[in-house]
């Protein structure tokens, strides 16, 4: 059985795609570059396009449309409501910060703290490094001093209208992406679900590096480093097994949310010395609330399996 490669965008290069085709290995990936801009009209009118099918994941709609080409490649046009909300929020935040930084620069120029055009251009260059899409979304103009052409008396800026939309609107392509695959017999939903397995891998690495303490590693001896990694991977297997059982029981919250739910639960230990000078430890856990009781009930049920 030949494998199917699901590839993250970070390692999608023409060379890697050519190698997969040369070896006749099926793949599912998102190519680099603004491929979604090629289907701008389809994305913009997706609600009126009957070829777009809607599925529901985590109470958010995903719209999918299949586009087949003559070179044995299928493209799945995807619109994610959750992804759009996230990207819209990110875009609005950086635009607000960029506008504040430009206003701060303008105040410095008007106060006379900085007037040399060369210094102002260097500051603008640093802003472009901080906000890579600055020139795309902002029109910026230096107003030269009438007496000294090497100095500026002010700076004018405003948001551009991108994609023929109002200035206060976000990019209409936010939340859209195009999945490319050689699996022509699979449905758009199957292709999308296959590509989404990458999120499980990414979540696993995040979990290993953060919740399970794989990083940082301070060991200086190789066998201790291997032992550290082995314990982390073992912990991850236990964790993913618990998550699987919780999901099967209808508990769909993320592990971080479950930890937040349980961390308020405490167990007190009372230490008593009797008349014979023997020390006794009495453990007294506090009462569980409904959410904690539900989670622990499923975990204990899991341990009994």
What is the secondary structure of 147-184 as a DSSP string?
S-TTBEEEEEEEE---TT--TTSPPTTTTEEEEEES-T
The pLDDT of residue 165 is above 70: no
Structural domains in the chain (count): 3
**What percentage of the chain has pLDDT greater than the value 70?**
93
Both 120 and 150 in one domain: the answer is: yes
Tell me the β-bridge partners of 4.
Answer: 26
Both 154 and 91 in one domain: the answer is: yes
Q: Is residue 115 part of a domain?
A: yes
Both 180 and 73 in one domain: the answer is: yes
- Tokens standing for residue 80: 């994610």
Both 197 and 51 in one domain: the answer is: yes
Both 290 and 219 in one domain: the answer is: yes
Q: Tell me the residue range of the domain where 74 lies.
A: 4-80+174-204
Please work out, in degrees rounded to the nearest 5, the angle formed at the alpha carbon of residue 77 by the alpha carbons of 73 and 78.
135
Both 108 and 136 in one domain: the answer is: yes
107 vs 221, which has greater pLDDT?
107
Q: Is residue 30 part of a domain?
A: yes
Both 240 and 113 in one domain: the answer is: no
Q: How far apart are CA 172 and CA 164, in angstroms?
A: 10
Q: Check: pTM over 0.85? Answer yes or no.
A: no
- Cis before 216 (ω within 30): yes
211 vs 62, which has greater pLDDT?
62
Edge-first strand listing for the sheet containing 4-7: 4-7, 26-29, 176-181, 74-80, 60-68, 53-57
Both 199 and 71 in one domain: the answer is: yes
Q: Is residue 209 part of a domain?
A: no
254-292 pLDDT, tens digit each: 777 777 777 787 888 888 898 888 998 888 777 888 778
Both 149 and 257 in one domain: the answer is: no
Both 269 and 283 in one domain: the answer is: yes
- Tokens standing for residue 276: 């014979």
Q: Is residue 111 part of a domain?
A: yes
Strand, helix or coil for residue 30: coil
Both 65 and 181 in one domain: the answer is: yes
State which H helix or E strand residue 144 sits in: strand 138-144
Both 221 and 292 in one domain: the answer is: yes
Strand, helix or coil for residue 41: helix
Q: Is residue 167 part of a domain?
A: no
- Tokens standing for residue 139: 């029109």
Q: Tokens 């701008």 — which residue? A: 40
Q: Is residue 93 part of a domain?
A: yes
- Tokens standing for residue 135: 């020139």
Q: Is residue 191 part of a domain?
A: yes
Give the range among 109-113, 165-169, 173-177, 239-243 with minimum mean pLDDT.
165-169
Q: Is residue 165 part of a domain?
A: no
The pLDDT of residue 170 is above 80: no
Q: What is the mean pLDDT of the chain?
A: 85
Cβ atoms of residues 117 and 125 within 8 Å = no
The pLDDT of residue 190 is above 70: yes
């Amino acid at each position: 059985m030949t494998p199917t490669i699901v590839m993250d965008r970070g390692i999608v290069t023409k060379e890697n795609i050519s190698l997969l085709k040369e070896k006749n290995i099926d793949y599912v990936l998102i190519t680099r570059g603004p491929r979604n801009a090629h289907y701008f009209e389809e994305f913009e009118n997706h609600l009126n396009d009957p070829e777009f099918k809607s599925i529901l994941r985590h109470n958010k709609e995903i719209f999918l449309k299949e586009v087949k080409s003559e070179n044995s490649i299928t493209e799945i046009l995807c619109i994610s409501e959750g992804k759009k909300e996230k990207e819209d929020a990110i875009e609005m935040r950086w635009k607000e910060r960029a506008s504040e930084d430009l206003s701060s620069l303008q105040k410095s120029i008007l106060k006379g703290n900085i007037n040399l055009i060369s210094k102002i251009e260097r500051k603008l260059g640093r802003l472009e490094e901080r906000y890579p899409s600055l020139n795309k979304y902002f029109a910026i103009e230096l107003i030269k001093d009438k007496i000294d052409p090497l100095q500026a008396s002010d700076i004018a800026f405003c948001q551009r209208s991108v994609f023929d939309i109002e200035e206060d609107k976000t990019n209409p392509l936010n939340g859209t992406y195009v999945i490319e695959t050689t699996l022509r017999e699979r449905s758009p939903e199957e292709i999308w679900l296959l590509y989404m397995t990458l999120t499980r891998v990414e979540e696993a690495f995040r979990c290993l590096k953060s919740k399970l303490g794989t990083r940082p590693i301070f060991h200086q001896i190789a066998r201790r480093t291997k032992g550290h990694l082995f314990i982390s991977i073992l912990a991850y297997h236990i964790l993913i097994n618990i998550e699987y059982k919780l999901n099967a029981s209808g508990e769909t919250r993320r592990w971080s949310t479950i930890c937040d739910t349980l961390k308020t639960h405490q167990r007190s230990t009372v230490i008593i010395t009797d008349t014979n000078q023997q020390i006794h430890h009495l453990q007294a856990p506090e009462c569980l609330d409904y959410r904690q009781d539900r989670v622990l009930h499923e975990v204990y049920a899991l341990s009994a399996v």
